Structure 1
């Protein structure tokens, strides 16, 4: 690991100033579970690390029915998973957070960090997609909002600019929402997803998202459109699952074959449907 400058900042404005001094060579340190590993394995060689863990405003979780849920960028996944408002109104997000790594990892890893890694198999990405989450970001030109469905641009690529700092994730409140998170992995605990899926139902509307079946986590618009207003039975489930073939592009890798991922994707979406029925 090469040497680097280290800055522990106290405000978002200070973090942005440090990024502007060296936009190409700087990396934000939040939970650090991915960043530190990549540095140790010599996959990443930053000139400077900007530690935002001391910024108090990024450690908050807030909820109201008017504003929805706000999860600060530095809130650990373990804290988020057990927060009363998350468990009560966004249970699929709590379920997903509980399955990220080990308890030790969940004590430091964050939802913002999990999303900013832009991994195709990030466990909190599919709940964020179906819950219509928005990234709250501050940069050189002030604050902006980036919907999660516009945030992922490719494997480890996002819509963030080099001097942007993610302040948190906001999720709207939707009355009567039912949700489900499903994950398939080689081991039950402390393992990356082979495939993961999230679904929500509000009235006669369904939203689904899959992870680890394409370069980015993605929604299933054809499935959603087909199911809207329909009675859920054996026939409609089968027809909906058949549409998944055209919406995903999995690959063969060390965790699974392409064909098995297609099978898992359909199985997990079916489980979501059955849980929400």
Structure 2
């Protein structure tokens, strides 16, 4: 591991100041489940590591029907998965959070880290995509909010600027929205997704989001449009499952073949829609 200077800001303002002072040569440390490995393997070589875990307010999880759900940047996967508001109003997100790694990993790993890392495999990505979540960012020029579908731009790339930090993520509350999260992996626990997906329904509108089938998590707008305003029938569900396969672009890798992932997309879409019917 390369030597670096360890910094621990006491506030968001101080963290931003450090980011600005060391722009381009610093990395943020939150849960550390990805960053520490990248440091160890010298995949990243920062001069400064800025630890934001102790900043007050960044571990909060709050909810109201007016403002929706807010998850602070330092809230861990276990805290999200065990939160009463998340379980009551966003159970598919709670399930996704609790599917990540082991219990020990979930005590450190954060949802925000999962998103900022921008892996196509991120388990919490598809429920947040399906829920139209918004990423809350603060930097030199003040605060801004970016829809999550615009935040992740490619594999391990986001719109986050060198002077900015993500302070949390906001998930709108939609009365009556139901969602189903599915993760397929080589093992039942402690494994990365071979493919994951979230299918949600509110009234006669549908949202389908998948991970590990493209450079970023994706929504399936053509399939959503096909289903919109219609009563679910076996024929329509089968048509939607077939269309869903055409909206993704998976690759062959060590976890699965392209053909397998295409097949599983259809299976997840079909089974989820049958449960939501």
Query: Which residue is 1:251 aligned to?
Result: 251
Aligned-pair CA distance for 1:205: 0.2
Q: After the TM superposition, which of the residue ranges 84-93 and 238-247 deviates more from structure 2?
A: 238-247
Q: Do structure 1's residue 59 and structure 2's residue 30 form an aligned pair? A: no
Aligned-pair CA distance for 1:275: 2.3
5 Å-filtered alignment, 1:25-64, equals 25-64=25-64
CA contact (8 A) 2:237 2:274 kept: no
Unaligned 5+ runs, structure 2: none
CA contact (8 A) 1:182 1:271 kept: no
Unaligned 5+ runs, structure 1: none
Q: Which portions of structure 1, spanning 4 or more consecutive aligned residues, are displaced by more than 4 angstroms?
A: none
Query: Which residue is 2:155 aligned to?
Result: 155
Query: Which residue is 2:130 aligned to?
Result: 130
Report the secondary structure of 1:101's partner residue.
Answer: coil
CA contact (8 A) 2:240 2:269 kept: no
In structure 2, what is the Cα distance between the partners aligned to 1:260 and 1:154?
A: 23
CA contact (8 A) 1:183 1:268 kept: no
Aligned-pair CA distance for 1:223: 0.5
Query: Which residue is 1:99 aligned to?
Result: 99
Deviations 1:87-109 (A, max 9, x none): 00000000000100000011011
Query: Which residue is 1:260 aligned to?
Result: 260
Query: Which residue is 1:214 aligned to?
Result: 214
Report the secondary structure of 1:56's partner residue.
Answer: coil
CA contact (8 A) 1:121 1:192 kept: yes
Aligned CA RMSD, in angstroms, stands at: 0.8
Q: After the TM superposition, which of the residue ranges 236-245 and 155-164 deviates more from structure 2?
A: 236-245
CA contact (8 A) 2:180 2:198 kept: yes
Q: Do structure 1's residue 68 and structure 2's residue 68 form an aligned pair? A: yes
In structure 2, what is the Cα distance between the partners aligned to 1:9 and 1:274?
A: 49
Deviations 1:187-218 (A, max 9, x none): 01000000000011000000010000000000
Query: Which residue is 1:170 aligned to?
Result: 170
CA contact (8 A) 2:245 2:265 kept: no
How many residues in Structure 1 have an aligned counterpart in Structure 2?
A: 277
Q: Do structure 1's residue 121 and structure 2's residue 109 form an aligned pair? A: no
Aligned-pair CA distance for 1:269: 1.6
Query: Which residue is 1:86 aligned to?
Result: 86
In structure 2, what is the Cα distance between the partners aligned to 1:270 and 1:91?
A: 20
In structure 2, what is the Cα distance between the partners aligned to 1:37 and 1:98?
A: 21
Query: Which residue is 1:228 aligned to?
Result: 228
Q: After the TM superposition, which of the residue ranges 42-51 and 125-134 deviates more from structure 2?
A: 42-51
Query: Which residue is 1:184 aligned to?
Result: 184
Query: Which residue is 2:242 aligned to?
Result: 242
